[in-house]
Structure 1
Amino acid sequence: MKLHTREWGTGDRVAVLVHGIMSDHRTWRRVAPALADQGYRVVAVDLRGHGASGRGEYGAEVWADDLVETLPKGPELAIGHSLGAMALSLAVDRLAPARAVYCDPAWELRADADLVARTFIDAKHAPRSAIAGFNPCWEQADVDIELATLAAWDPATAQALPDIYAVSRTPARAKVPSLVLRADPSTLVPPDMAGELTRRGFEVRTVPGVGHTLYRNDFEGFMAALDGWT
């Protein structure tokens, strides 16, 4: 499926951005312009079931195939967050970016996938007060975007999670130069997994004191953690 995309900048280098579940391209409202200022043409997708992209069958391989069909091959930089990082890792050998950055990647769920799916579905109609209260360091614009992206999101995507995580999605090796940025603490990339990823050829960095949406919780800290990768 060809996905809806949003672009920033007109640079010679290309950077591609892939959001996580319940979100869409608007989540990159600060990251994308910052990369454009560095000379990138930035292309951000709405995954299937999110934003303005189509609906249909959902699954890890489906999301990865959509990225390959939509995004330019051989970008200088590819960044994925959470479930988007998982989809990116399944597409990375075909997209062939020069560098890949996986932000708190959802390669494994150590919690019950059915429970996680129900929690996400329940969040579909979360009020502004709940979103702001759960994310006290977010700017008001991020709360507004979260409400808008939840409204546009198809909760059936969450129903695919138990099947997706019936097997581990952690890559056996880094297929391109790859950086993992983990939250502090991270339930998705705990210390033992971080060590294993290092052994598999990934560079692993921690953004201190931030939650799962690293670039919203501490934009400056997130960009600093990308030093040498952009």
Structure 2
Amino acid sequence: MQLHTRTWGAGERVALLVHGIMSDHRTWRRVGPALAGRGYRAVAVDLRGHGASGRAAGPAGYAPRDYADDLVETLPAGAELAIGHSLGGLALALAVERLAPRRAVYVDPAWQLPAGRHGYRPELFTDAKLLTREHVRMFNPRWAEEDLDVELDTVRIWDESSAHGLVPFTGRDLGPERAARPSLVMLADPSMLVPAERARTLKERGFELRTVAGAGHTIQRDDFDGFMSALEGWI
């Protein structure tokens, strides 16, 4: 599927930006311009089922490999930098050898969805369509007003079938067995998706890890300055 994209800047260096579930390219509304200011042409996608991109026929069309294949179909290979958040980090990892960026950054990646009674459940996401602005503010007290607006709109237009499409993959290690490219994993504090034992495994697999102190899962919106600082040396 050819995805909808948004571009900031016109630099010779290319940066690819891939958002997480329920979001779209607007999650990068500050990151894209910041990278453009550093000489990049920053290209952000809307994943299938999100934003202005097409929808799959049903949950089966939202397997992780589908997201990865869409990235390869849509984005240029050989970019200077690729950044993927959460589900976008999973999609990027599955596409990274084909996209072949010089460096990859995975922001609190969803490489292993917990199974069991307290594990991954689609309604944890689909219920977000019922949240009010005040609910979103309560869960994300550090977000700017514009990010609250963006969240409400992106969740409203998001295809909730995508949450059900991930159910068959819960409990499986979907992450890379090695860092195929020079790779940074940026973590929330604490990270619910990459606990300490998992972080040690990633180090053994060749990933550099950095934690943004006090930041929630959507680090780029929770602590933009901390997010950009954590990218130093990678951009």
Name the TM-score class by shorter chain: over 0.9
Per the alignment, residue 97 of structure 2 pairs with 93
Mapped to 2, the partners of 1:151 and 1:111 lie a distance apart of 27
Provide the TM-score with structure 2 as the length reference: 0.95
Query: 1-10 or 104-113, which moves further after superposition?
Result: 104-113
Query: How far 1:152 moved relative to its partner?
Result: 1.3
Shift of 1:155: 0.3
Q: Normalized against structure 1, the TM-score is what?
A: 0.97
Letter in 1 for 2:170: Y
Q: Structure 1 CA distance, aligned partners of 2:119 and 2:214?
A: 28
Match of 1:69 in 2: 73
What corresponds to 1:213 in structure 2? 218
Code of the residue aligned with 2:31 in structure 1: it is V
Q: Does 1:146 align with 2:145?
A: no
- Give the secondary-structure state (helix, strand or coil) at the position aligned to 1:171: coil
Counterpart of 1:202 in structure 2 is 207
Deviation at 1:115, TM superposition (A): 4.8
Alignment correspondent of 1:177? 182
Code of the residue aligned with 1:66 in structure 2: it is D
Q: Which residue of 2 aligns with 1:129?
A: 134
- Residues 212 and 226 in structure 2, CA contact (< 8 A), matched pair in contact too: yes
Does 1:7 pair with 2:7?
A: yes
Q: Which runs of 5+ in 1 are unaligned?
A: none
> How far apart, CA to CA, are the structure 2 residues paired with 1:144 and 1:125?
15
Task: Please state how far the C-alpha of 1:164 moved relative to its aligned partner.
Answer: 2.5
1:47 aligns with 2:52: no
Unpaired segments of 5 or more residues in structure 2? none
Distance 1:133 1:166 in 2: 29
Q: Is the 8 A contact 2:68 2:95 kept in 1?
A: yes
- Checking the alignment, whether the CA contact within 8 Å between 1:114 and 1:161 is kept in structure 2 is no
Quote the residue 1:18 is aligned against.
Answer: 18
Quote the RMSD (CA, aligned, Å). 1.1
> What is the distance in 2 between the residues matched to 1:115 and 1:76?
34
Superposed CA offset, 1:129-176 (max 9, x none): 100111000000000000110111000000011113352102100000
- From 141, 154, 169, the equivalent of 1:164 is 169
- CA gap 1:111/1:219 in 2 versus in 1, 3 angstroms: farther
Once residues 115 and 223 of structure 1 are traced to their aligned partners in structure 2, the CA distance between those partners, rounded to angstroms, is: 29
| 1:118 aligned residue | 123
State how far apart, in whole Å, the 1-side matches of 2:169 and 2:2 are. Answer: 21
Query: In the alignment, which residue of structure 2 is the partner of 1:37?
Result: 37
Q: Do the aligned partners of 1:80 and 1:86 also contact (CA within 8 Å) in 2?
A: yes
Kindly state the Cα deviation for residue 204 of structure 1 after the two structures are TM-superposed. 0.5
CA distance in 1, matches of 2:89, 2:52: 20
Structure 1 residue 78 corresponds to structure 2 residue 82: yes
Q: Deviation above 3 Å: which 4+ runs of structure 1?
A: 111-115
Decide whether the 8 Å contact of 1:125 with 1:150 is kept in 2. Answer: no
CA distance in 2, matches of 1:36, 1:152: 27
Match of 1:189, SS? Answer: coil
Q: Distance in 1 between matches of 2:115 and 2:13?
A: 39
Distance 1:229 1:185 in 2: 22
Count how many residue pairs are aligned between Structure 1 and Structure 2: 230
Q: CA deviation at 1:110?
A: 2.3
